[in-house]
């Protein structure tokens, strides 16, 4: 009788464990690229940094909360970009930075 009770408990526990159903799935939407990417692509196309520099820097600063290592690297590159005057070098630097985003 004891064996029968143990067997019944085993089967009921296995049955109960399987009744939970599947775990709910959650769709994960990747975050939109920062605004800096579009702005850097504009700079890469024009070769002119101008007033976009402050907006790009702000976007990179905001990126620190989600990807601080990459944001820090891009902020260093932003400083280099701001020091450039040759349009071809500006284009190349801005394109390389946009590609990192």
Task: Indicate whether 13 belongs to any domain.
Answer: no
49-97, pLDDT tens digit by residue?
988 899 999 999 988 888 889 999 999 999 999 999 999 999 999 999 9
Residue 98: pLDDT band by 50, 70, 90 thresholds? Answer: very high
DSSP states of 25-60 as a string? P---PPPPPPHHHHHHHHHHHH---TTHHHHHHHHH
Number of folded domains that form the chain: 1
Percent of the chain scored above 70 by pLDDT? 70
| Domain contains 3 | no
CB atoms within 10 A of CB 83: 9
Domain assignment of residue 62, yes or no? yes
- Domain membership of residue 39 (yes or no) is yes
Count CB atoms within 10 A of the CB of residue 60: 26
Question: Does residue 11 sit within a domain?
Answer: no
Cα–Cα distances in angstroms (integers) from residue 90 to residues 50, 60, 70, 72, 93, in the given order = 11, 18, 20, 19, 5
Residue 56 lies in a domain: yes
Domain carrying residue 95: 35-100
């Amino acid at each position: 009788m004891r064996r029968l009770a143990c067997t019944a408990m085993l089967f009921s526990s296995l049955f109960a464990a399987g009744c939970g159903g599947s775990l709910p799935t959650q769709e994960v939407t990747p975050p939109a690229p920062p605004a800096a990417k579009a702005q850097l692509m504009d700079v890469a196309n024009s070769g002119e940094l101008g007033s976009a520099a402050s907006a790009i820097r702000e976007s990179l600063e905001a990126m620190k909360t989600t990807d601080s290592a990459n944001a820090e690297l891009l902020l260093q590159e932003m400083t280099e970009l701001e020091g450039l005057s040759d349009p071809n070098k500006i284009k190349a630097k801005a394109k390389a930075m946009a590609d990192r985003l």
